[in-house]
Each structure stands twice: as structure tokens, then as C-alpha cells.
Amino acid sequence: MPSLDDLKKRIKSVKSTQKITKAMKMVAAAKLRKAQENAEKGRPYSNKMQNIILNLTKSINDPENAPKLLVGTGKDKTYLCVVLTADRGLCGGFNSNICKLAKLNFKKILNEGKDLKIITVGSKGLDQIRREYGKYIIKKFSFKDKKNITFNEAEIIGNEIINLFQQDQFDKCILFYNNFKNVITQIPQAQQIIPTESKNLEMEEDNAFSYEFEPEEDEILEDLLPKNISTQVFKAFLENAASEQGSRMTAMDNATRNAGDLVDKLTINYNRSRQAAITKELIEIISGAESL
Amino acid sequence: MSEKFVVEIISPDKLILKKDVSEVVLPSFEGEMGILKNHIPLITFLRPGLIKIIDETEKKFFVEEGTVEFANNNLLILTSTAREISDFDQNSLEKIINESEKKIKNDKITDKEKYLLTYKIDTLKNINQ
């Protein structure tokens, strides 16, 4: 049985933890609104970009000579996995969900006897993946000191991916991130960006007419495909940022509620012990008086 | 029948403009290009220059690069560099011009880059006047 003093200390400490989680929840809620807005604003760009590429792809008449970024190297040997996570913890299952999905895929790739290369973005993912797959990590990025992720950061990663591709370092590139559905649901996703996966793209039916191109299709594609890589990375960034805040908000909300429950329980315990102590004292006094 | 079509300018982080307009002039890679309603489907990309959006009032945007798709009377401009020219001020303009002029003097740049930079400088100088 803990003493009254111990209980009092415990209640005080839980209460101050609750204050912290409550503050974090409110900060996350404010940030979430902005991140969500950004993610929603960013969606049209990447969707339309994909659409244009799809339209272009359909009108290519010579698939043999099509740009490698679009159709792949024709091999299926080395995989490059880009894992996007947050730089901060305390956001529920956000980081571990991405890592879980990524690790599942790593296992599959290695089991099939293929080569694996990993790029991590964000320090939390790096920590989780390093333990098991440390030797496969070829590059790590972290934008901890940046307050807002802009297109520039996405371009740094995009250019890195394209550079590696041009040096023939990998055949397929997969992006791992959390897709923001709503505040409570974030779905970890694996998206293949090189070669462009056309079956994942939704096609609008009335879009099936032939285009006039200026200059030639190939030239446009060559210009557009590297841009598309950065755009997809940027989209993943935005979705991730919104998911992180949403996940943190839910986690902190739960933590605040749990702390409240704990305080209630401890307070009841405290009051009981206090009453027991008083009763004990009374009994002692009464029995002392009686014995006189 | 109205003679208008929809133009959308989208940057990676937001929708810059969505409007019913009667004519748009684009600095396409191979020359200026005017687009009216019922243009045939088209995909092209942009060099540095001005996008002119003509309605009752005229709006001008400066772009450095971008991709354009026209289909179903929907003009889509994807660019990460669009800026309305009224947003520019004298100082920042001159700074960008100076930087570009420095770059163009560098011998290492390719013909294509040179071509693009020339247009960038010309357009900016025009705005500056």
C-alpha cells in the first residue's frame, strides 16, 4: 500500500503529463488543418500530371525506344525503396506503420533473391530500419531543421533518384508513405514510381482522343518524366505531413483521456487511504478512552 | 453559346487560378501560341515568358517552365513558377535579371539553357519597363 504522500506525488505527475499531451494535441490540431489543406491543394497537380503522362504513353508508337524512366530497364534485378517517415515521434503508429509495410516488402524482395537498396527520409524511419536492414541503406535524408517542406526538398530527393537511375543503380523504385484519408485513418502505401505503373492510374473515359504535340512526344516525355518523379515525391511528402499531424492528434487525444482516467482512479485510491487513516486514528482514540 | 473555356493554373502547392476566359496566349516552347475555344487537343511545354489571360480584363503571369494540356475546352497549365506580374517589384526583378545575365555568360551552359535564359531575360526586361 503506497503512502498518502506517494499517491499525492503520483497524481501530480500524471496531471502534468496530461497537460503536456493536451498541449501537443492542440498544437497538432492546428498544424493538421494547415497540412490537410496543403495536401488537398497539392493533389490536383500530381493527378493531372499523371493523367498527361498516361495520355502521352498511349500515343507512343515505338515502345522499344520509349524513355527508360517510363518503361523501365527491362530488368527486374535491383529494387530501390524510398521510405518516407517523420522526424519526430509521439505520433501513434504513424512511423511504425510505414516501416512495417516497408519491411514486409524488403523481406519479399530479398526472398525472391533480388537486390535491395534503401533510401530513408526522416530520422524515425531510419532508426527502425537500421536495426535489421542497415547494410542496405545507401542514403539518408532528414529535413529536421526545415519548418515547411517545399517543392525544393522534393526535388532534391527526386534528382537523387534520377541520378541513381541514370547510373544504372536500380531497375525499380518504390515509394513508401502514409496516405492521408481522414484524421483517424491513414493508410500506409507502397507506390511504384519507376517505371511508371499505368495500371494504378485511373483513366477518365472521355479523355481518349488524340493530341497534337508540340514539340514531339518523346521530347515532351523526356522533360516531363523527371518532373513527375519529383512531383510524386512531393505529393508523398504532403500526404505524409498531414498524416503525421492527424496521427499525433489522435494519439495525444487518447493519451490525455487515459491520463484523466488514471487521475480519477488514483484520486479514489487516495481518498480511501485518507479515510482509512482517519478511521484508524478514531478507533485508537475511542478504544483508548474506553480502557480508562 | 458563349465563346469561353476554362483555364486552370496549378502549382505543386496550390491552385493559382481557375476561370472562364475567352482567350489565352502561351509562351510555348516553339513560339507564342494563342488558344481559343474548341482548339484541338494539345500537349506542349513552356519556355520562360508571359501567359496572357484575356477576358474583359487582361491578366498576365510570368512563368519559367510548365506543361500545358488542352482537352474538352479545358486548358490546364502545370507549373511551379507562375507569378502574376503585379506581384513583382522593381528590386527583385533587377536582381533576377542580373543573376540570369551572369549565368548566360558562363560558357559551360548548353544551347538549350542559353535559349531559355535569353527568353527569361527578355521577358523580365519587358516587365521592368
> Is A27 inside a domain boundary?
no
Cα–Cα nearest to A24, from A91, A124, A85, A87: A91
Q: What is the pTM of this model?
A: 0.83
- Give the per-residue pLDDT at A63: 64
pLDDT band at A62 (very low <50, low <70, confident <90, very high): low
Same domain, A186 and A262: no
Per-residue pLDDT reduced to its tens digit, A244-270? 999 999 999 999 999 999 999 999 999
Provide the domain count of chain B. 2
pLDDT of residue A61: 62
Query: Quick one: B18 and B68 in the same domain?
Result: yes
Partner-chain residue, chosen from A46, A215, A224, that has the shortest CB–CB distance to B67: A224
Same-domain pairing of B24 and B57: yes
- The pLDDT > 70 percentage for chain A reads 93
In this prediction, residue A68 has a pLDDT band, given cuts at 50, 70 and 90, of confident
Average pLDDT, chain B: 84
Enumerate chain B positions whose Cβ falls within 8 A of a Cβ in A.
Answer: 8, 10-15, 28-30, 33, 40-45, 67, 69, 71-72, 76, 78, 80
- Cβ-based neighbour number of residue A91 at 10 Å: 24
The burial class, CB within 10 Å (0-12 / 13-18 / 19+), for B107 is: exposed
Cell of A195: 517505371
**Minimal-distance CA residue of chain A relative to B32:** A214
CATH number of the domain at A269, please: 1.10.287.80
CATH number for position A201: 3.40.1380.10
Residues A258 and A243 in one domain: no
Both A69 and A119 in one domain: the answer is yes
User: A262 and A244 in one domain?
Assistant: no
pLDDT at A205: 47
Q: What is the CATH number of the domain that holds B52?
A: 2.60.15.10
Rounded CA separation B122/B117 (Å): 9
Residue B77 sits in the same domain as residue B14: yes
Q: How far apart are CA A172 and CA A165, in angstroms?
A: 9
Residue B76: list chain A partners with CB under 8 A: 48, 52
Catalytic residues of A: 91
Write out the DSSP string of B62-83. EES-EEEEEETTEEEEE-S--E
pLDDT of residue A23: 95
Residues B52 and B66 placed together within one structural domain of the fold? yes
Backbone angles phi, psi at A93, to 5 degrees: -90, 15
* B12 with A223: Cβ contact below 8 A: no
Rounded CA-CA distance A91/A133 in Å is: 23
Contacts with A150 from chain B: Cβ below 8 Å: 13
**Average pLDDT of the residues in B13-33:** 87
Q: Which domain holds residue B108?
A: 88-128
B23 and B49 co-located in one domain: yes
Residue B67: is its pLDDT beyond 90? no
- pLDDT tier for residue A8 given thresholds of 50, 70 and 90: very high
Number of domains present in the structure of chain A:
2
In this structure, are B27 and B64 located in the same domain?
yes
Q: Residue B104: pLDDT band by 50, 70, 90 thresholds?
A: confident
Q: What is the mean pLDDT of chain A?
A: 86
Q: How far apart are CA A256 and CA A228, in angstroms?
A: 42
Distance CA(B44)–CA(A19), nearest Å, equals: 56
ipTM score of the complex? 0.75
Q: Are residues B31 and B61 in the same domain?
A: yes
> Among residues A177, A246, A224, A214, which one has the least CA distance to residue A51?
A224
Nine cell digits for residue B10? 496549378
Query: What residues make up the domain containing A16?
Result: 4-21+252-290
In tens, the pLDDT along A191-247 reads 888 887 655 445 544 455 677 777 777 777 787 888 888 888 988 998 999 999 999
- B18 and B75 assigned to the same domain: yes
Q: Let me know whether A160 and A205 are in one domain.
A: yes
